[in-house]
Amino acid sequence: MKNFFSNLRGDIFGGLTAGIVALPLALAFGVSSGMGPSAGLYGAIFISFFAALFGGTNTQISGPTAPMTAVSMVVVTSILAFNDGDFEKALPAILMVFLMAGLVQIGLGLVGIGKYIRYIPYPVVSGFMTAIGIIILVTQILPLVGYYPKEDMALVDQYRPMAQESILRKILKEESRESMLVLEDFQETIDRSEEVSEENILKEAKALAGKDTSGVMGAINMLPRALQHINWLELALAFGTIVIIYGFKKITTSLPSALVALLVVSGVAYGLGLDYRSIEQIPGGFPIIHFDMFTQFRLDSITPYVFTAFTLALLGAIDSLLTSVVADNMTKTQHRPNRELIGQGIGNSIAAFFGGLPGAGATIRTVVNINAGGKTKLSGMVAGVLLLTVLLALGPVASKIPAAVLAGILVTVGIGVIDYKGLKAIPFLPRDTKIGPFKVSSEVIIMLVVMVLSTVWNLVYAVGVGLVLASLMFMKKMGDLTAERSDVKTLEQEKGWADEAAFPESLKRKVFIKHLKGPLFFGFTSEFQQLAKQIPRSASTVIIRMDRMQYLDQSGLYTLEDVLIDLKNSGIEVLFVGLLEQPRYMMERVRLIPSLISENRIFIDFKACTAYLKNNLDHTVDVSKEN
């Protein structure tokens, strides 16, 4: 904090510039999430301020981002469906999930997980980001052409029978929970069902229509109907926004083109008195704290979303720390990853209390901040204060922004999020895996699996599947590589290591040398057992060279133990050479040392082992060698 005001002018200008860039995006992400523009603005305010204050990257500008919004949209849609499409009823559970995500991030930072985030495989991130872009693009088609399924009464009417059935099921479920559903009291159920109004049925029908038309598949299914109900004014406003965003960038980059497009198109539409659809009303005044998160808390309403909250936290961590690396490269500084996670968690937790969307470090806004002169935490806090000022002073004015303008902004965001670098690399990646008769790239498989599953199934589960798939493929590669390099060959077939050149000819009839040229882990245990079986029983001594075996896991440890017991039962003496610290520690924990291998059978180098053999073996028998 001692340098907090050391760059006051640059930080104020950088923060103001980043805040201006963040404004249209915050409104657009709020609309896209299903929570409304105010949620995006609240998230941008509180995350920007508190993540900067408590975070570990001085120049980071945080707020709602495309990936975080896409996952949030899944949460909002699911919980809304669970609560009959009633947003006010669903809001406490939604915000509780967001709060959980923030708390998980704080926990990740406190236990030091930040330094491990960089191990997330690139194909998983690439497939996920491309899917985010596709999801944003496809889901914005309907608002782009001005079609809103819940307002299409012909469509909503098709859901009336299902709405009546759904309402009756909920009455039965509620009475079952209240222990009222018994035969003699069934009249109560009939009476309650007769009280269901036409308004309730319509509301439920709209909720069902909204659920079925949400997401990528819902938007695709509704596309033919949407094209029959195009609102040409809305389409023109969205198209004009897109043209200005891309066109203005070619003129100058000193002003954010998204903000210019928002101001120009909104000003024209409002000034000409056009009959356009505006965004939801943004409440005036300071945001209020949603204590109903706790007063209306129900465990069963958030239990299905615990994994989703963890995914939000992990995604926000990845997004933020990748942006931190970009900031480091630009400013020649070093961020503190665990501190950054704590800051992001605090920001997301506070945003949840005020009804804001979760967010993360935003790359474009951070770059803009640095280029405009921002150097300390103050810049991010200034960005948050600017957005709060806009909310307090211009909330009613912002509510006049056409919804089509934000749809146009989101289209450009979706195009920008797609990982073109990863897609362009597909033809050039090595084809290292066989699927039937075809050779394909394991990296491409992972990326495509994550991309397709994220797009048409579930973002959260797709990431989990991608991580598992990437881990399995990595372990198979490592096992295959270690097995290939540890093949069994005689001295005549392959030369030994450099320090074995002077191995006495007189010992080459009885000693068999095995080289371990990689980690002995569960991906290699099967191959290790097969290689061990190839040791001829004519050998009286086996030397296991462990100079290059840096790692030994529990599976490898017990496999090694089985091999040693088998060799001992066959009367073959085993010697270790070059045993490293981690494998030795594992062997000592289960007393493999000294129970099966005594300390005097472990040698620091091959020279010491050779001296032992000269003094203890008969020099008249054959020796083979395994590599």
Q: Of 239-248, 386-395, 505-514, which gets the smallest average pLDDT?
A: 505-514
Decide if 232 contacts 225 (C-beta within 8 A).
no
Average pLDDT estimate for 46-59: 94
Among residues 409, 360, 402, the alpha carbon closest in space to that of 24 is found at: 409
Q: What is the DSSP string of 562-627?
A: HHHHHHHHTT-EEEEES--HHHHHHHHHTTHHHHTS-GGGEESSHHHHHHHHHHHS-TTSB--B--
Q: How much is the average pLDDT of 288-301?
A: 82
Binned at pLDDT 50, 70 and 90, residue 625 comes out as: very low
Compute and round to an integer the Cα radius of gyration of the chain: 32
197-254 pLDDT, tens digit per residue, is: 777 788 888 878 887 887 888 889 999 999 999 999 999 999 999 999 999 988 877 7
Q: Which domains does the chain have, with CATH numbers?
A: 428-483 (no CATH), 498-616 (3.30.750.24)
Residues in the chain: 627
In angstroms, the CA 527 to CA 43 distance is 53
Mean pLDDT of 374-396: 89
For residue range 108-131, list pLDDT tens digits in order.
Answer: 999 988 877 766 788 888 888 888
What share of the chain has pLDDT > 90, as a percent? 22
Q: What is the rounded CA–CA span in Å between residue 128 and residue 134?
A: 10
- Report whether pLDDT(485) > 70: no
Is the pLDDT at 623 greater than 50? The verdict is no
pLDDT at residue 388 in the model: 92
What's the chain's average pLDDT? 83
| DSSP assignment letter at 509 | B
pLDDT band at 529 (very low <50, low <70, confident <90, very high): confident
Q: Which residue has the tokens 């520690």?
A: 585
**What is residue 512's three-state secondary structure?**
strand
Mean pLDDT of 520-547: 77
Report whether 350 contacts 7 (CB < 8 A): no
At residue 102, does pLDDT exceed 90?
yes
Instruction: Specify whether the CB–CB gap between 335 and 56 falls below 8 A.
Output: yes
pTM equals: 0.72
Specify the pLDDT at position 484: 61
Q: How confident is the model at residue 335 (pLDDT cuts 50, 70, 90)?
A: confident
In which band, very low, low, confident or very high, does the pLDDT at 104 lie, cut at 50, 70 and 90?
very high
Contact call for residues 349 and 2 (beta carbons, < 8 A)? no
Greatest extent of the chain over all pairs of C-alpha atoms, in Å: 105
Report the pLDDT value the prediction gives residue 438, as an integer from 0 to 100: 83
- What is d(CA 161, CA 442) in angstroms, rounded to the nearest whole number? 48
